[in-house]
Amino acid sequence: MSSSISGMFQNYHLRLDAPVKKHLKNVYACLGLSVTSFAVGGYVQMYSSFFQHIGFLPNLISTFPALALFFSSDNGKNRLQRLSMLLGFAFLNGVGFGPLMSMAMMKNPAIIPSSFLMAISIFAAFSGMALYAPSRQYLYLGGVLLSALSSLFWLSLISYFAHSYLIFKIQLWAGLAVFCGFVVFDTQNIIQKCEAGDKDFIRHSVDLFIDFVNILKDIMIILMDKEKPRDKKNQNSK
């Protein structure tokens, strides 16, 4: 992922200062490492009997490296330690994501690589849109996106109790759209923070990592949902 996005810095002229470009390259490099660690965590959960029986514990434990990362500051000497916190956070989230990957594997093994490729493509497209915007115009999306996220939370509760497939579909596609918007917002927010003197690229990469994971989750569920008609056809043919 980091290489595909970093290519945008080399192939196109960005209206960004050299320090900002360097900062973004570091952010995307950390993002690529964290996504790799996340994927490893998912596959470890799928094939390890130990991780298959600990439920949501990895998601809870992942808050500790996340908090440690956010309450520590980059002094130039602790970057390896803070990078380890980031990768630990990503790995544990991957372990928590493993059950969904297992369900996708049972539906169709091609769903997993397809989901990752689609998520990377969508993420790169929206991040690129933010990078090439003539100004920081998308920063105004923050309030709208937070309101939409709050609405999605209540919609998920309604869907859970009402068992409505229509509401579930609306929530799924709306969630995908919201986190695509967050990619744009967070990318420009990172640029603004860097221009203001905040050069903590490890911490900044966490926001983009969370956006990517949510996009991946929604895409994977959408692809799994599309397998339902095929399953019914196979049953009818038998």
CA distance between the termini of the chain: 42
User: pLDDT at residue 227 above 50?
Assistant: yes
How does pLDDT run across 126-152, given as a tens digit for each residue? 999 888 876 677 888 888 999 999 999
- In contact, 158 and 164? CB cutoff 8 Å: yes
Q: What is the pLDDT of residue 183?
A: 96
Q: Is the pTM of this model over 0.85?
A: yes
The length of the chain, given as a count of residues: 238
Distance CA 33, CA 238 (A): 45
- The SS3 call for residue 62 is coil
CB 238 within 8 A of CB 119: no
SS3 content of the chain, % helix, strand, coil (to 5): 85, 0, 15
Of the candidates 132, 148, 160, the one whose C-alpha atom is nearest the C-alpha of residue 214 is 148
Q: CA 36, CA 53: separation in Å to the nearest integer? A: 23
Query: In this model, does residue 3 exceed pLDDT 70?
Result: no
> pLDDT for 193-225, tens place per residue?
999 999 999 999 999 999 999 999 999 999 999
